[in-house]
Amino acid sequence: MAVFLVVTSVAAQDLKSYDQKIQGTTVSFKMVAIPAGKFQIGSKNPMADNDETPQKDVELSSFWMGEHEVTFAEWDMYFKDNALPQSKTIDGVTRATPQYIDLTWGMGRAGEQPTNSMSQQAAVMYCKWLYTKTGFFFRLPTEAEWEYACKAGTNSAPDLKEVSEAGWSKENSGAKFHPVKQKKPNAWGLYDMLGNLSEWTIDQYDPASYKNISAKDPVTTPGAKYPRTTRGGSYLDDATQLRCSNRIPSDTKWNQRDPQIPKSRWWLTDGMFVGIRVVRPVKQPSVEEIEAFYNTYLK
């Protein structure tokens, strides 16, 4: 679908980071300017999985990306708005249902904690809500955008000391996620790209996608509900898994303890390690393209 690709290059001096306020709230978040450029997607690292090869040269248009994972301070504005009986910004189809148990599993939902346990559909509908509140088209990053932003101008893999300084893994997290921006940012000023929570992308997971990947703004459009792709690894993963190129397919096991019939389309009972980060393309699609994009994820 063309809607995934409607971003264009902007001169580096014209693309600036900014603070995005959510209309009608006191909440804002920083969007970091990511310049257009070329990079090698994938890895030749000995620890790389087969789905991280072959490496390919990819060119990406410029975009903005959230400085950190979406926090509960941001997410709860959506959920509270969602709970209003006559909400003018959220329709009946895109309303997130209440959680029937605490899906933070005791780790808490204080404002700077990263929001977790949502399905990819819930993540996309949060982006749709941001669009209705700000007038700007927000979505999840593509796999290529995410990896490009994570690598931040380098193809060298960080050593374990650098990983520990940049992210929360099984080795240093104490088996829980942590407030955002507690670790070192990468060279482009993005926090928690590695670890803390694995982050949804908009791509369908295809282990062989790099064999025929597009050289310009690639994306694998969604088909079946599973598997979709997350990136970055989480506080439950070994530090060796916290790699910019590591591709993590979603699994039905992420919701296996949900007793509801049918199982929730919004929440992942066993996906406490999954979170989200938003992007905004430089060129905004048309209203029709935006609606078509969001509707793609309501299957």
Sign of CA dihedral 199, 204, 205, 208: negative
What's the pLDDT at 62?
Answer: 96
What's the pLDDT at 176?
Answer: 97
Confidence class of residue 73 from pLDDT cuts 50, 70 and 90? very high
Q: Taking 50 as the threshold, does the pLDDT of residue 4 lie above it? A: no
Between CA 296 and CA 37 the distance in angstroms is 28
Characterize the bridge pairing of strands 228-231 and 198-204. Answer: antiparallel
What's the pLDDT at 16?
Answer: 96
Between CA 198 and CA 247 the distance in angstroms is 10
The ranges assigned to domains in the chain are 2-296
Confidence class of residue 81 from pLDDT cuts 50, 70 and 90? confident
What's CA 225's distance to the chain center, in Å? 17
Quick one: which of 72, 53, 38, 289 has its CA closest to 177? 72
Confidence class of residue 3 from pLDDT cuts 50, 70 and 90? very low
Rg (CA), the chain: 18
Note whether 222 and 246 are within 8 A (CB): no
For the record, the structure tokens of 197 come out as 């929570």
Note whether 48 and 26 are within 8 A (CB): no
Residues 117-133 have pLDDT tens digits of 999 999 999 999 999 99
What's the pLDDT at 255?
Answer: 87
For the chain, percent helix, then strand, then coil, each to nearest 5? Answer: 25, 15, 60
Domain at 2-296: CATH code = 3.90.1580.10
Residues 162-207 have pLDDT tens digits of 999 999 999 999 999 999 999 999 999 999 999 999 999 999 999 9
